[in-house]
Structure 1
């Protein structure tokens, strides 16, 4: 499993998703139709082209349901791999009842994370060669942030802050509450002198105020391409710039070519369609 993921937290999350499906009972359909000792081989198969993320999470689901010694798993690809429809991602051998009981939870997580990775790769490809970096946001599904941000990395993107305490982002409401961009920056820097601080602005003038206040990272919120170009020219390398708000995949390259350093894309996590993946039992 990726070293940045808290293994115990992931296991607790997976156990909760399994319990959600079983609700303290049993898989009644599988129990009724499958003999207890029946053994099967199943394959996880991509039904569409995309980028895979979450294979180790899928394996964890299977092992928790089937028992670590009761299931044999062979990976055909690794997280971050580009796959085609029909590609086998994983082969599993174990008790048929347990494989079928684990199927939906396995696919829910794997399809979602692979969907995030797939969408991220599209954005990364769209800005390839411009020097701009695609970053995620905190617009994630509750409790899935660590996994979704991992999937963004699998797709070639980079992570913004994980939460509210590892970096500061001064947004418009903070500016209003503090009485201005410069004052908001001063207060954050005074309270947390060692933390990374990003300032959100919606005008070139405020971007320059942020730079003159000492900001090294500025978020340009909902700015049209001409304003982005103007901001890049006037900031002139004194701070890194991040475009955010209203971005679309179709316009990503045009935005990146303005010279901004980052594109912050909430859609990577809040609007990614799943990658269609199936679990197919093999006939014996």
Structure 2
């Protein structure tokens, strides 16, 4: 399985931290089991879900005990049904139990994120809009959640504060206006995308004149979005943001905007119900 570079970047350290906070100086309950005891375990989902997190599960058991075998029955991005076996584990009973919680924590959260994204992606499946995540992620798990977003059929906005500009109201005020903010961004980091948030059609015109690559339409009405699409006429990409719900999502998509950003893709996800049982 090939992960995008941003997800690979902190995979090992993220798993190491998760294991450290759970195991501490030793799993005292697992020590009740004879060291030589071997076991086979199956992990199932108790509900329908888009599965995501294979690399994190593999890394957990690699760090706990490299001799543990993980046999996957599904792939990331695959829809699993209730009671379906996701993977089997074989090896030291102690190791399987020690790694269980950290592995399932990653898998249930990332599968929950992917499942939430699939729900939203299905709503706009008949349009050309791309649904984008935001930086509203669980601290320390941004890269993992960003990957999960892609497995649910949505797309990544910028990963962090370093890979693209997103100039908002306070930035504009501190820079002395939209034109100054956009021009300074292009001078400081040529080649990086410059996106700017606007709150009116007048500000949209200023952003287009300044040469912004993407313009975020903050809490625009549907009529204003349609006017923005006509006014922009392909000069920049348009991103709608704010008050996006199941009910408003499709009407927003049908205005013709290029992107819709939704914080709920990562911050409103519900963990998938998983279970591990020894066979």
TM-score range, shorter chain: over 0.9
The runs of 4+ residues in structure 1 deviating greater than 3 Å are 5-8
Query: Cα distance, 1:249 vs. partner?
Result: 2.4
Measure, in 2, the Cα distance between the counterparts of 1:54 and 1:45.
14
Query: Cα distance, 1:182 vs. partner?
Result: 1.8
Measure, in 2, the Cα distance between the counterparts of 1:184 and 1:141.
29
Distance 1:94 1:272, change over 3 A: same
Question: Corresponding residue for 1:51?
Answer: 50
Measure, in 2, the Cα distance between the counterparts of 1:86 and 1:18.
27
Distance 1:268 1:211, change over 3 A: same
Retained in 1: the 8 A contact 2:7–2:144?
no
Question: Corresponding residue for 1:21?
Answer: 22
Distance 1:169 1:84, change over 3 A: same
Give aligned pairs, total.
278
Query: Cα distance, 1:237 vs. partner?
Result: 2.0
Query: Cα distance, 1:7 vs. partner?
Result: 4.1
Q: Structure 1: 5+ residue runs without aligned partners?
A: none
Distance 1:18 1:261, change over 3 A: same
Measure, in 2, the Cα distance between the counterparts of 1:8 and 1:167.
18
Question: Corresponding residue for 1:30?
Answer: 30
Query: Cα distance, 1:183 vs. partner?
Result: 1.9
Measure, in 1, the Cα distance between the counterparts of 2:246 and 2:131.
11
Query: Cα distance, 1:192 vs. partner?
Result: 2.0
Measure, in 2, the Cα distance between the counterparts of 1:101 and 1:211.
56
Q: Pick from 125, 130, 136: which aligns with 1:128?
A: 125
Q: Pick from 70, 82, 99: which aligns with 1:85?
A: 82
Q: TM-score, normalised by structure 2?
A: 0.95
Q: Pick from 107, 124, 129: which aligns with 1:110?
A: 107
1:27 match: secondary structure = coil
1:80 match: secondary structure = coil
Question: Corresponding residue for 2:163?
Answer: 166
Q: Structure 2: 5+ residue runs without aligned partners?
A: none
| Map 1:226-241 → 2, pairs under 5 A | 226-241=223-238
Q: Pick from 150, 155, 170: which aligns with 1:153?
A: 150
Query: Cα distance, 1:256 vs. partner?
Result: 0.5
Query: Cα distance, 1:30 vs. partner?
Result: 2.5
Measure, in 1, the Cα distance between the counterparts of 2:173 and 2:275.
50
Distance 1:49 1:133, change over 3 A: same
2:30 match: secondary structure = helix
1:113 match: secondary structure = helix
Retained in 1: the 8 A contact 2:73–2:86?
yes
Measure, in 1, the Cα distance between the counterparts of 2:100 and 2:188.
49
Measure, in 1, the Cα distance between the counterparts of 2:183 and 2:81.
51
Q: Pick from 171, 185, 193: which aligns with 2:190?
A: 193
Measure, in 1, the Cα distance between the counterparts of 2:167 and 2:189.
13
1:251 maps to 2:248: yes
Retained in 1: the 8 A contact 2:7–2:147?
no
